[in-house]
Each structure stands twice: as C-alpha cells, then as structure tokens.
C-alpha cells in the first residue's frame, strides 16, 4: 500500500494550486484568508484518490478520469444552505407580478413555461416555485411546465430528487402549508408527487457545462428556442469573483427568452454585473429582465408601468414628511466634537456657529463654505461633515451626501444622524433593504429615537411587511406618549407630538 505524504498537500503553495483549480472549474473562490479551511477537505479527497503524490492528484483533478474526485471535493466545499420559500420577497414578486404576467401571456399561446433553478442545492427552491405555480394555474395538467433544477453537488441533487425534508427545511413555513403540500413520514416530510413531476433535477456545473436543454424547445416558437422564461440563481455568485459572475450573467442572458427574467439573491444585486438586462425595481427587490425584440433597454412593459405607478402612489403624505425631516440639527450652543486641535477651539466654534446661522437663513452656499473651513481646522468635526451630508442630500446630490455620511461614520461609528441620512438616501432610491439595515443601526444606537422607528415602520409598509411595520409604530407611539403633546418632533415640518400621534394612528390603521 502506498503511503501518501500529508505535507505534499498541506504546503501552502500546493493548497493554492488546488484552490485555483477549484475556481477555474467551478467558479468558487477561496480568498487566501480562508485557504486553511480547504486543507482538511483537500487532504481527505487526496487520500481517497488514486494519486500517489501531489502532482498526480492535480492531474487527476484536472482530467475527465478524475471527475468523480473533483465532484466529491466540491461536494465537501459547497455551502448548501437553503430552505422552502427562502428570500420571501423574491417569491412574492414571482407570485404577485411575474408569474401572473407570464401565465396571461402564455395562456393565449402555446401554454408552456420553462424555468431554470440554477444551483438549487437540495431542491427547496424549485419545489417552492412548483407550489406557487400550481396554486396560480388551475388546470396545470393542460400546460407544459418544465422546471429544470440543477446543482454541481451530486449529493445535494440526490436529496432534491428524493424530495424528503426534515423540519429544518421549513423555517418560516407554517404547518398548514406543510400539510397541504407534503406527506408526513416519521420525522420527515415528503413532497407530494404532483409537484415532483413538474421538476427535472440534473447535476450541472454553471461554469463549465452548457446551459441545460429545455424540454419545451420543440413546443416553443422559433424565436424562443433553447430559452427559459425565468432563471433563478440565488446565493451562488457570492462565492464567485466578479469576472466569473459577469460571464455567468451573459450565459443566463443568452439562455433567456426575450422578456424573460433573471432572479438573483438580494446581496447579489449589481447594475454592473447585469448591465445587459433591464432592472425592474419593485418595493421588495430587483429582478433583471431581458429586453423584448427591438425594445430599448430602458423601456418597460405596460403591465409593469402600471404596477410601478401604483407603487409610487404608496409614497403618501407621511412618507414625504419623513423625507424632509432630520434628526435635530446642531444648534449654535451645541457642544462640538473637539477632542483634537484644542488650541484652535474658539476659531472652530466661531466658524461653526456662523455656518449654522447661514444654514438657518437658507444661505446654503455660504454655510457650505464655512463648514469646509471648520473641517480645515478640525477634519474630525463630525457635525460639520454631517451638515455637508445633509445639505448635499437636500440638493439631490446623493453621491456627495453618501461620501459625507460615510465620513461621519468613520469619525464616529455611533453617530446615528449619519446612518439616518444615509437610510433616507436609500429610501429615495427605493433601496429598501439597505435603508432597513441602516435604520436598525440607528435604533440600536438610540433606542428612544422615535423618528427612526417611524421611518422604519413606513419602509416596512412599502415592503408589504405589515407585522414588522406595526411593531415599529407601536414602539414609536410608546415613546411619544410620555412626551409633552406640544413638543416639536419633526423640525422641518414643525410637527408636534400630538399631530404625529394622529398621523401614526391613521397609518397604523391602514397597514
């Protein structure tokens, strides 16, 4: 029996060679900081292989003969985290907007729908899609539904084919849903056969394999051959380098029908990576669409225009008030952040006060000039930086505002006003998830900050997350109820506690 040398593989240079091979063949990239996490998996894969030494092992991994070892190694290394209806917002968009639009378009045509759930892991994602489709299409047996679900990990795909899951796969799914679509089998739940037949599971490498064949091709019209109506590929490119993701985006683009959609995970949104697509921005997320024949990239379909118009209407009076409001602006008497440059204390303070006076008199250009002077004296004056953030945002110069807001956080990571201003910019740009993250930080820093809860509640309402919205409004009411009713809450609108409570009450009832 051949004794294989452990040090062959644990040598960092050799680990890097395997790391690069993994990236080349699967796209999955391990930065140097994570290289040691590879060591154990590579070593046991090496021991299992037919290779007698490291060089043979590399040859084995790179050749067709060693394909099974490569797949085993990948199976060790992939993150298969998934569950039913994971990323609820994406399923909401599919269920409420994209599927109904597709069904309407196809019902007068050849009644085929082709979906590719790319990198589906253990199958919860394609089964969730099948469940929704079956709910939406009453006589689904008269349709040709083809869901191709693929993953590089053979073990994950065989679990998916079985369709049997433990309770853990149902995080966030209620018991009624589980009982409707699954049979209980001891401690596990098995998907009902009707849903299984809609899906075809395959072992497939997104990087090196051609797009899977679409069974509906022979039924589709000549202009939509070999193409899918929807490709869903979520939480995969987070493991890829940008260049790999951009190549994959092109592959997806070429595999979609005109007007077809690409759904990616929320952390994978990127106008840059998906620049060939039209970004469809919904309150709860973004979906990328391939333009229809002859349509300019910036045009949209009539259905989508009306949906988006409806969403604009959601921007109600209260939201407009929020957008104009700020946490208390610095007053002339405020203590300044003057840990440094003590010698220049008085000059810094005098100029800051001048700047505030100009600001209060709406003389913004003079105010900006003075705030810059304050920063010349003390670059760490967080309030001057924040005022520049605030003025830039008010003028619609969002990139500048983001720069100043970020600067504030660098100076003082607990400066809530900066997070709040940045959240308002996210709100303005309909980047609701980002806004929520920042507002959560604001509230963490100052748990009594009514405006924070109030704004968060409004954003949750826009995202249709009504129970979270209700919780926020309740907390805002609790905090406000102990304040004097004539106290001004929102400076920009001179809104008193009493007036705000009335508005919350109205909003609260509506959500």
Ligand X SMILES: C[S@@+](CC[C@H](N)C(=O)[O-])C[C@H]1O[C@@H](n2cnc3c(N)ncnc32)[C@H](O)[C@@H]1O
Task: Catalog residues that contact ligand X under the rule CB under 6 A.
Answer: 26-28, 78-82, 86, 119-121, 125, 151-153, 156, 205-207, 234-236
To ligand X, the closest distance from the beta carbon of 82 in angstroms equals 3
Nearer to ligand X among residue 73 and residue 356 (C-beta) = 73
Of residues 411, 342, 423, 425, the one with CA closest to residue 383: 411
In angstroms, rounded to a whole number, what is the distance separating the alpha carbons of residues 103 and 105? Answer: 5
To ligand X, the closest distance from the beta carbon of 26 in angstroms equals 4
DSSP state of 81: -
In angstroms, rounded to a whole number, what is the distance separating the alpha carbons of residues 395 and 324? Answer: 11
Of residues 125, 122, 204, the one with CA closest to residue 155: 122
To ligand X, the closest distance from the beta carbon of 144 in angstroms equals 24
* Alpha-carbon separation of residue 8 from 39, 43, 72, 304, 402 (angstroms): 11, 9, 20, 58, 49
Nearer to ligand X among residue 209 and residue 487 (C-beta) = 209
What is the 3-class SS of 240-261, one letter each residue? Answer: CCHHHHHHHHHHHHHHEEEEEE
Nearer to ligand X among residue 171 and residue 297 (C-beta) = 171
Q: Which residue has the tokens 């007053």?
A: 331
Query: Which two structure tokens, joined as six digits, stand for 340?
Result: 């440094």
- Spatial contact of 225 and 216, defined as CB atoms under 8 Å apart: no
Nearer to ligand X among residue 229 and residue 417 (C-beta) = 229
SS3 (DSSP) at 197: coil
To ligand X, the closest distance from the beta carbon of 162 in angstroms equals 15
To ligand X, the closest distance from the beta carbon of 131 in angstroms equals 15
Nearer to ligand X among residue 61 and residue 367 (C-beta) = 61
Query: Which two structure tokens, joined as six digits, stand for 480?
Result: 């406000």
To ligand X, the closest distance from the beta carbon of 169 in angstroms equals 10
To ligand X, the closest distance from the beta carbon of 204 in angstroms equals 6
Nearer to ligand X among residue 268 and residue 417 (C-beta) = 268
To ligand X, the closest distance from the beta carbon of 79 in angstroms equals 5
Nearer to ligand X among residue 266 and residue 498 (C-beta) = 266
What one-character-per-residue DSSP string does 24-79 give? HHH-----GGGHHHHHHHHHHHHHHSS-SSHHHHHHHHHSSTTHHHHHHHHHHH--
Query: Which two structure tokens, joined as six digits, stand for 441?
Result: 């930080």
Nearer to ligand X among residue 160 and residue 304 (C-beta) = 160
């Amino acid at each position: 029996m051949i004794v294989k040398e452990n040090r062959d593989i644990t040598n960092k240079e050799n680990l890097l060679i395997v790391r690069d091979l993994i990236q080349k063949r699967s796209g999955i990239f391990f930065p140097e900081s994570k290289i040691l996490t590879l060591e154990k998996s590579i070593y046991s894969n090496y021991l299992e292989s037919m290779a007698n030494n490291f060089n043979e092992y590399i040859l084995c991994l790179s050749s067709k003969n060693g394909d099974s070892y490569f797949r085993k190694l990948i199976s060790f290394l992939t993150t298969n985290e998934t569950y039913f209806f994971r990323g609820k917002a994406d399923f909401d968009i599919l269920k409420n907007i994209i599927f109904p639009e597709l069904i309407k378009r196809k019902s007068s045509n050849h009644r085929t729908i082709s979906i590719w759930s790319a990198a589906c892991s253990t199958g919860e994602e394609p089964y969730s899609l099948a469940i929704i489709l079956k709910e939406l299409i009453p006589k689904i047996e008269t349709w040709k539904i083809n869901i191709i679900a693929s993953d590089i990990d053979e073990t994950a795909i065989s679990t998916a084919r079985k369709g049997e899951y433990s309770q853990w796969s149902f995080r966030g799914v209620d018991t009624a849903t589980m009982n409707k679509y699954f049979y209980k089998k001891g401690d596990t739940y098995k998907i009902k056969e009707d849903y299984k037949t809609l899906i075809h599971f395959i072992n497939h490498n997104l990087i090196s394999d051609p797009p899977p064949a679409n069974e509906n091709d022979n039924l589709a019209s000549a202009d939509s051959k070999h193409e899918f109506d929807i490709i869903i590929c979520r939480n995969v490119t987070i493991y890829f380098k940008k260049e790999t993701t951009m190549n994959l985006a092109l592959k997806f683009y070429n595999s979609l029908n005109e007007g077809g959609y690409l759904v990616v995970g929320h952390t994978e949104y990127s106008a840059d990576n998906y620049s060939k697509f039209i970004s469809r921005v919904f309150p709860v997320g973004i979906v990328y669409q391939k333009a229809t024949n002859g349509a300019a990239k910036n045009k949209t379909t009539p259905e989508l225009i009306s949906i988006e118009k409806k969403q604009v209407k959601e921007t109600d009076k209260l939201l407009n008030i929020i957008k104009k409001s700020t946490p208390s602006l610095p007053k002339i008497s405020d203590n300044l952040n003057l840990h440094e440059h003590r010698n220049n204390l008085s000059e810094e303070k005098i100029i800051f006060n001048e700047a505030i006076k100009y600001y209060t008199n709406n003389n913004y250009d003079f105010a900006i000039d003075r705030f810059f002077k304050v920063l010349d004296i003390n670059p760490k004056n967080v309030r001057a930086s924040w005022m520049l953030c605030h003025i830039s945002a008010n003028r619609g110069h969002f990139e500048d505002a983001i720069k100043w807001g970020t600067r504030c956080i660098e100076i003082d990571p607990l400066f809530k006003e900066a997070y709040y201003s940045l959240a308002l910019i996210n709100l303005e740009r309909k980047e609701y998830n980002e806004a929520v993250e920042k507002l959560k930080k604001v509230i963490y820093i100052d748990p009594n900050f009514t405006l924070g809860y109030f704004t968060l509640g409004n954003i949750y309402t826009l995202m249709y997350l009504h129970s979270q919205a209700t919780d926020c409004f309740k907390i805002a009411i609790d905090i406000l109820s102990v304040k004097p009713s004539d106290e001004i809450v929102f400076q920009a609108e001179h809104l008193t506690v009493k007036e705000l409570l009335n508005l919350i009450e109205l909003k609260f009832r509506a959500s």
